[in-house]
């Protein structure tokens, strides 16, 4: 896509859907409050459907200016704690019964969201994690989770410190207190609602899991009375005006609304979305600036002539190898130019050097070329047989590996050709 086209694209926020069953069919959905707030502050929500194999297609959603991950089922414990929590099969079954809507693990959603979270961390793409989304962010950075807060945390503390983190009978109205840490974004957003010297607000709660060990890069912004982290951020990547925003909130500020109205419990509730979208917009502008690469300097005529001769040599060799045809009279000298170029650039592989030499020998030994073609066909047959026995996951990982390697090889070759041209 041309740089001029990028400027007319509105800031895009990716949101992964949650899967449920309706009328005996799967249905993907995203809560409307998330979408409303993203749109109202000037960005476009792009829903990423929870579809098998989609984790291999995330590049199709580029450009990505921000990622919002929200509710969903429990994250597969194997992603954060190999030893799990020591629960017996009977205890795990009791947990599943108590939280039936959350404990049906969705591994495809896990894979999609963890890859998106890691992509944001690698590129510093703005990321807002709400509830499960905050847990995904912590796990992506090496943190761990309580598999069940009630059994792992609540039973180990005094009764007056225990917190009810989910109430199925009073779902949207249920609130519990949290203490906000000073000099954090959360403190600034809710400053006008905090009582003097108390630093407390009441938040909603819809979860039975939560942060156990907070990843080292994060700083907590709030705690529940039982010690559970209710919000955290990365201070080194927090500056919405510059497109920096990496944050997780365990509660749902978008759903903290007064009964029978759309008025928020506190004026600061929608600010997380406002600041997040501000960062998304700034990140998009920064991305456009970085993609505006200056045009390459014009080559002098002598270098341009040499480049065309080398390109012609490589084109002849490639066509001969692909078609299996012999060399046309007069092309041998052209092939020698390419072979000399490869020999002069010893950083390229010996296989590449030999390949062009071998192709130049087809005039003298056409049978040798056919033999190599048959060998390649045999290798391809063996490769297909091996891959036919591999699982979908193994094939996906293998494909990802070769895509990355192909990209690296292409970049390395381009740099070397540019170095030759600029000498």
For the annotated catalytic residues, the residue numbers are: 131, 252, 254
Indicate the angle between helix axes 271-291 and 32-40, nearest 10 degrees: 60
3-state secondary structure of 75: coil
* Distance from C-alpha of 331 to C-alpha of 395, rounded to nearest angstrom: 41
* Distance from C-alpha of 194 to C-alpha of 127, rounded to nearest angstrom: 26
Instruction: Give the tokens for residue 412.
Output: 């390395």
The answer to whether 210 and 150 are in contact (CB under 8 A) is: no
Q: What is the CA radius of gyration of the chain?
A: 29
* Distance from C-alpha of 186 to C-alpha of 231, rounded to nearest angstrom: 8
The answer to whether 247 and 172 are in contact (CB under 8 A) is: no
Which letter does DSSP use for residue 192 in this model?
Answer: G
Q: Which of 222, 211, 60, 224 is nearest to 142 (CA)?
A: 211
* Dihedrals phi, psi of 45, to nearest 5 degrees: -75, 130
* Distance from C-alpha of 18 to C-alpha of 28, rounded to nearest angstrom: 5
């Amino acid at each position: 896509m041309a740089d001029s086209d990028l400027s007319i694209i509105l800031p895009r926020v990716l949101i992964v859907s949650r899967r449920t069953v309706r009328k005996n069919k799967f249905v993907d959905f995203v809560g409307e409050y998330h979408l409303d707030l993203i749109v109202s502050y000037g960005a476009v929500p792009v829903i990423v459907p929870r579809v098998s194999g989609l984790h291999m297609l995330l590049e199709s959603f580029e450009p990505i200016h921000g990622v919002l991950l929200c509710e969903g089922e429990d994250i597969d414990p194997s992603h954060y704690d190999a030893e799990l929590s020591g629960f017996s099969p009977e205890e795990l079954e009791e947990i599943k019964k108590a939280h039936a809507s959350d404990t049906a693990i969705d591994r495809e959603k896990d894979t999609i969201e963890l890859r998106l979270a890691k992509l944001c961390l690698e590129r510093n793409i703005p990321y807002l994690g709400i509830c499960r989304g905050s847990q995904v962010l912590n796990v992506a950075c090496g943190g761990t989770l309580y598999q069940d807060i009630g059994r792992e945390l609540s039973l180990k503390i005094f009764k007056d410190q225990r917190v009810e983190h989910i109430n199925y009978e009073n779902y949207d109205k249920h609130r519990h207190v949290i203490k906000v840490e000073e000099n954090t974004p959360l403190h600034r957003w809710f400053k006008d609602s905090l009582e003097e010297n108390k630093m407390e607000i009441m938040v909603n709660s819809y979860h039975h899991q939560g942060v156990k060990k907070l990843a080292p890069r994060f700083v907590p912004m709030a705690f529940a009375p039982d010690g559970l982290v209710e919000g955290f951020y990365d201070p080194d990547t927090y500056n919405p005006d510059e497109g920096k925003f990496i944050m997780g909130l365990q509660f749902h500020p978008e759903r903290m609304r007064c009964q029978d109205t759309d008025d928020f419990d506190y004026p600061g509730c929608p600010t997380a979305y406002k600041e997040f979208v501000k960062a998304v917009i700034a990140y998009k502008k920064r991305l456009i600036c970085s993609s505006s690469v200056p045009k390459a300097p014009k080559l002098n005529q002598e270098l341009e002539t040499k480049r065309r001769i080398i390109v012609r040599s490589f084109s002849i060799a490639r066509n001969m190898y692909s078609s299996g045809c012999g060399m046309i009279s007069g092309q041998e000298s052209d092939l020698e130019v390419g072979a000399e170029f490869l020999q002069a650039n010893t950083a390229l592989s010996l296989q590449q050097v030999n390949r062009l030499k071998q192709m130049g020998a087809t005039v003298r030994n056409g049978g040798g070329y056919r033999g190599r073609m048959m060998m390649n066909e045999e290798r391809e047959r063996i490769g297909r047989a091996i891959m036919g026995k591999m699982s979908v996951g193994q094939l996906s990982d293998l494909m990802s590996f070769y895509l990355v390697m192909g990209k690296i090889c292409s970049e390395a070759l381009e740099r070397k050709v540019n170095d030759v041209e600029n000498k």
